[in-house]
Structure 1
Amino acid sequence: MKYYYEEHEQSYQEMKANQIKAWDQYHEPGKYTFDHFMMRPFLEKAMEFVQLQSKQSRVFEYGCGTGAGACFLAERGFTVDAIDISPTAIELAKSMAEARQLAIYYKNQDLLEMDRLEQEYDLILDNYCLQSIVTDQDRAKLFAVIRSGLKKSGYYVIATAMFNDDRVYGRDSYYSQDTGMVYDRIASPEDYPDAMFMENSWWLPTRRHLKANELRDELIQAGFSIVLQDNGNVICRLND
């Protein structure tokens, strides 16, 4: 299976069992809720910055989880399509949208299994998904799919976890200073084509924690221009 699937599906199953409504709330209980999610302050700032006409604008969110970002935008009049690799996340997202009487088109789908987006969007949203897309090949594929569906006048808005000097990686984790990749030790590689062997152990890529200049360079090389960046919070457009 893909390295990013199991952790997320298991987490959303736990959230469902414990009636936890949002990914941020699951990882930092008491600090975040469905409506007060981690990206919300930056997303509010981004909406003021881009000045899109919501009634005429269509949004696509990948890695939507239970739909906190998607609902935030739908409540403001945007037409929203959203996908996630976890079927449980999509089940929860649909129930959250229904409870709010929001018409959001959710689909259980892996962006990296797509060749291109089916239509063009005024805004594409990444609400803390990018750090879980780890390998160079997968990130290049993700950015190519984004480019296929972002209007020339559109915006790509990202919030992603970044390198932090204070972050502690345990003995069963390995952080590569050269690539920003984080690996977790696993017992057996049979189910994971992306597993790698180093230091007499098998490791699975789990996160990509870049520095601000590294993320900026990566996005520029991928065909985007940076409109605004505050560490891992970024607004991009397609290069002319």
Structure 2
Amino acid sequence: MKKYYYEEHEQTYQEIKRDNLHAWDQYHDPLNYNFDHFMMRPFLEKALDLIDVNATESRVFEYGCGTGTGACFLAEKGFTVDAIDISPTAIELAKSIALERNLKINYSNQDLLEMSELDKEYDLILDNYCLQSVVTDGDRSKLYSIIRSGLKRSGYYIIATAMYNESRFYGEDYYYCVETAMVYERVISPERYNDAVMINNEWWLPKRRHFKTEELRKELTSNGFSIVLQEEGNIVCKKE
């Protein structure tokens, strides 16, 4: 059976490939974003200025890399980059784009949550709008444990994630749980998924985790990170 986060991402990257697009942000907002102008870029530039890392001596790991917007941005600055995504189509596109740009990036089609730990130590670990799609408490706890396993004591974990917005309209086929900050999508065939849950006699699938600022800060600190900088869902942290 499928994990709740796989199907949406693989289907979206197949559509990105079909439509000859290059990035997730571009797919959802083509007027404002493209491969080089991605949503996280302004904060990532700010974070790199803040932490003052030596790119040519630093290794980066990005999970949920998609087509490689963040990975390419960092590789172009001289970082050595390892990057993974659960979508085989995303990795196919990422490899093609890196080749076109003459960038050497170690891409792999993997699910981070199928790992037990990282097999290398990294100066930077990057989450470019992946975290909100890791929904359940167990999965998020495991994700943070894996990150800690591969983050150097001197390293930085840089995150950009979608947050709770009281004006957001989810639609009738979605359910936002205020107590947990979980967003669920209604499903007709729950037997297809490991993670479908019944709420009010209907089946729902975990879709997103939209925390408020202090809730996310508390989650990170309780999972072994100290916050260096937080601007709502844009965060730089270190391993405690």
Deviations 1:4-25 (A, max 9, x none): 0000000000000000100000
Equivalent position amino acid for 1:224 in 2: F
Shift of 1:97: 0.5
CA distance in 1: counterparts of 2:172 and 2:84, whole angstroms:
34
Matched with 1:76 is 77
Aligned: 1:169 with 2:160? no
Matched with 2:211 is 210
After superposition, the CA RMSD in angstroms is: 0.4
CA distance in 2: counterparts of 1:88 and 1:113, whole angstroms:
18
Matched with 1:101 is 102
CA distance in 1: counterparts of 2:166 and 2:107, whole angstroms:
37
Equivalent position amino acid for 1:113 in 2: E
Matched with 2:232 is 231
CA distance in 2: counterparts of 1:20 and 1:200, whole angstroms:
40
Matched with 2:161 is 160
SS in 2 for 1:182: strand
CA distance in 1: counterparts of 2:72 and 2:80, whole angstroms:
10
Deviations 1:100-152 (A, max 9, x none): 00000000000000010010000000000000000000000000000000000
Shift of 1:217: 0.2
Deviations 1:1-48 (A, max 9, x none): 100000000000000000010000001111100000000000000010
Shift of 1:198: 1.3
CA distance in 2: counterparts of 1:46 and 1:168, whole angstroms:
31
Deviations 1:157-188 (A, max 9, x none): 00000000110010100000001000000101
Matched with 2:143 is 142
Equivalent position amino acid for 2:61 in 1: F
CA distance in 1: counterparts of 2:75 and 2:51, whole angstroms:
16
Percent identity between the two aligned chains: 67
Equivalent position amino acid for 1:123 in 2: L
TM-score by length of 1: 0.99
Equivalent position amino acid for 2:157 in 1: Y
- Shift >6 Å, 4+ stretches: none
Matched with 1:191 is 192
Unaligned runs of 5+ residues in structure 1 are: none
Equivalent position amino acid for 1:126 in 2: D
Matched with 1:34 is 35
SS in 2 for 1:194: coil
Equivalent position amino acid for 1:90 in 2: I
Matched with 2:55 is 54
TM-score by length of 2: 0.99
Shift of 1:200: 2.2
Matched with 1:219 is 220
Unaligned runs of 5+ residues in structure 2 are: none
SS in 1 for 2:191: coil
Shift of 1:193: 1.3
Matched with 1:120 is 121
Bigger mean CA deviation after superposition, 191-200 or 202-211:
191-200
CA distance in 1: counterparts of 2:194 and 2:4, whole angstroms:
8
Deviations 1:191-226 (A, max 9, x none): 111101112211000100000000000000000000
SS in 2 for 1:152: strand
CA distance in 1: counterparts of 2:100 and 2:12, whole angstroms:
22
Equivalent position amino acid for 1:228 in 2: L
CA distance in 1: counterparts of 2:27 and 2:107, whole angstroms:
21
CA distance in 2: counterparts of 1:217 and 1:102, whole angstroms:
37
